[in-house]
C-alpha cells in the first residue's frame, strides 16, 4: 500500500502543472523581451549604429562621446539634484504625513484620498498643470502681483539656474502621497503594545518614532527608497510636459537624452550607450536592495 501511494504521487516537476504552463508566456516575455532587449542594447552600444542597428563595433567610442557631451553632463547634474531633493523631501514629508494620519484623526480616509490623488494622474497631466501654475503670466507670480506685491518674482521654469527645482516641485506634489501611504502601512504594522510601553516609560513621542519605530520600519523604508529611486532615474514625462528640456538644455535629464538621440537625432549607438549608463544606475540601486531584503534575511 505504501509503495502504491508513493507511486501515485506526482513528481515535483509535475506538481501544479497547470500553473506552470500558465506562467510560460510571462517567463518567455521576461527572458526574450527584457533580458534579450537588455543584452541587445548593451552589445549595440559598442557600435556606430545610426538610423538602423549595424554590427560595426567601435569599442568605447560612444561612451567617450557621451561623457564629452555637455548635454549629458547637464543631464547627470540635473538628475543628481532632482534625485537628492526628491529622496529627502518625499521621505520626510511622507513620513510626517503618515505619522499624522496614524493619530486616528477625523476624516482620515478623506485626507488620505486627497494626498494620494495626485499619484493617480499621469506625469504629463501633472507637468502641464504645474506649467500653468508656475507660468509668470497667469500663475503664482501673477496672482501675488495682483494682490499688490508688484515686485514679486516666481518663474522657476523660465530661469535656467533654478528650472530643475520647478520640475522638483511637480514631482514632489505627485509622489509624496504614495510615500505617505507606504509608510502609513508600515506604521500600522507596529504592535500597539510598543506604543503603550513607550507611554508607560514616559518616552517622548519624537524619541519613540526616532529610536524605536523608524528602526523597526527598516524594510518599509528600503522598499520605499527603491521605488522612489527607480522613478528618479527614469524621470522624463514631467520634464517634457513642463519645459521640453529648456531653457536651452538647462532641464535635460538622461531619459530625454536617450529618447532624443535614438528617435530624433537618429544616432542609435549614442542612445544605446546612454541607456546602458541608466541600466548601470538602476543596477546600483536594485542589487543592494535585493541583498538587504533577501541576502541579509536569509543570514538572519
252 found inside a domain: yes
The answer on 93 and 40 residing in a single domain is: no
Distance CA 133, CA 143 (A): 10
Provide the percentage of residues in the chain whose pLDDT is more than 70.
92
**Helix or strand run (H / E) with residue 208:** helix 205-208
The answer on 177 and 79 residing in a single domain is: yes
Task: Answer yes or no: are the C-beta atoms of 163 and 173 closer than 8 Å.
Answer: no
| Mean pLDDT within 67-77 | 96
The answer on 124 and 34 residing in a single domain is: no
50 found inside a domain: no
The answer on 39 and 168 residing in a single domain is: no
- State the total domains in the chain: 2
Is this model's pTM higher than 0.95 or not?
A: no
The reported pLDDT for the residue numbered 80 is 94
| Mean pLDDT within 82-108 | 91
Query: For residue range 265-286, what is the model confidence (pLDDT) as tens digits?
Result: 889 999 999 999 998 988 888 8
The answer on 35 and 112 residing in a single domain is: no
The answer on 212 and 78 residing in a single domain is: yes
Kindly compute the dihedral angle of the four CA atoms of residues 234, 237, 243, 244, in this order, to the nearest 10 degrees.
80
- Catalogue the long-range contacts made by 76-80 (C-beta closer than 8 Å, 24 or more residues apart): 76/254, 78/164, 78/251, 78/252, 78/253, 79/232, 79/233, 79/235, 79/253, 79/254
Distance CA 269, CA 276 (A): 11
The answer on 68 and 37 residing in a single domain is: no
19 found inside a domain: yes
The pLDDT mean for the chain works out to: 88
The answer on 63 and 40 residing in a single domain is: no
For residue 209, the domain's CATH number is 1.10.3720.10
pLDDT band, residue 1 (cuts 50/70/90): very low
The reported pLDDT for the residue numbered 297 is 54
54 found inside a domain: no
146 found inside a domain: yes
The reported pLDDT for the residue numbered 55 is 85
49 found inside a domain: no
**In which domain, by residue range, is 251 found?**
59-295
Which neighbouring-strand residues pair with 57? Answer: 47
Query: For residue range 101-157, what is the model confidence (pLDDT) as tens digits?
Result: 988 888 888 988 899 999 999 999 999 999 999 999 989 999 999 999 989 999 999
**The C-alpha cell that represents 242 in the structure block:** 513642463
241 found inside a domain: yes
| Mean pLDDT within 32-46 | 89
The reported pLDDT for the residue numbered 2 is 47
The answer on 114 and 218 residing in a single domain is: yes
Amino acid at each position: 500500500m505504501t509503495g502504491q501511494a508513493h507511486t501515485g504521487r506526482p513528481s515535483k516537476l509535475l506538481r501544479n502543472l497547470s500553473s506552470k504552463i500558465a506562467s510560460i508566456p510571462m517567463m518567455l516575455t521576461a527572458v526574450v523581451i527584457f533580458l534579450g532587449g537588455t543584452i541587445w542594447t548593451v552589445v549595440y552600444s559598442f557600435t556606430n549604429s545610426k538610423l538602423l542597428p549595424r554590427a560595426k563595433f567601435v569599442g568605447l567610442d560612444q561612451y567617450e562621446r557621451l561623457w564629452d557631451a555637455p548635454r549629458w553632463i547637464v543631464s547627470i547634474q540635473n538628475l543628481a539634484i532632482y534625485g537628492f531633493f526628491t529622496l529627502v523631501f518625499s521621505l520626510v514629508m511622507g513620513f510626517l504625513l503618515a505619522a499624522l494620519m496614524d493619530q486616528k484623526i477625523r476624516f482620515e480616509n478623506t485626507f488620505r484620498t486627497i494626498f494620494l490623488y495626485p499619484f493617480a494622474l499621469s506625469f504629463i497631466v501633472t507637468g502641464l498643470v504645474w506649467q500653468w501654475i508656475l507660468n509668470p503670466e497667469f500663475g503664482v507670480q501673477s496672482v501675488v502681483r495682483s494682490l499688490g506685491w508688484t515686485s514679486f518674482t516666481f518663474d522657476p521654469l523660465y530661469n535656467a539656474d533654478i528650472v530643475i527645482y520647478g520640475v522638483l516641485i511637480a514631482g514632489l506634489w505627485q509622489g509624496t502621497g504614495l510615500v505617505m501611504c507606504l509608510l502609513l502601512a508600515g506604521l500600522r504594522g507596529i504592535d500597539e503594545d510598543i506604543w503603550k510601553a513607550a507611554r508607560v516609560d514616559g518616552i517622548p513621542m519624537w524619541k519613540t518614532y526616532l529610536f524605536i519605530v523608524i528602526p523597526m520600519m527598516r524594510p518599509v523604508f528600503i522598499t520605499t527608497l527603491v521605488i522612489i529611486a527607480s522613478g528618479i532615474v527614469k524621470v522624463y514625462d514631467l520634464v517634457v510636459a513642463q519645459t521640453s528640456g529648456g531653457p536651452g538644455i538647462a532641464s535635460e535629464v538622461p531619459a530625454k537624452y536617450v529618447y532624443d538621440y535614438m528617435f530624433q537625432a537618429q544616432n542609435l549607438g549614442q542612445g544605446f550607450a546612454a541607456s546602458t549608463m541608466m541600466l548601470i544606475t538602476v543596477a546600483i540601486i536594485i542589487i543592494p536592495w535585493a541583498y538587504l531584503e533577501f541576502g541579509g534575511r536569509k543570514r538572519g
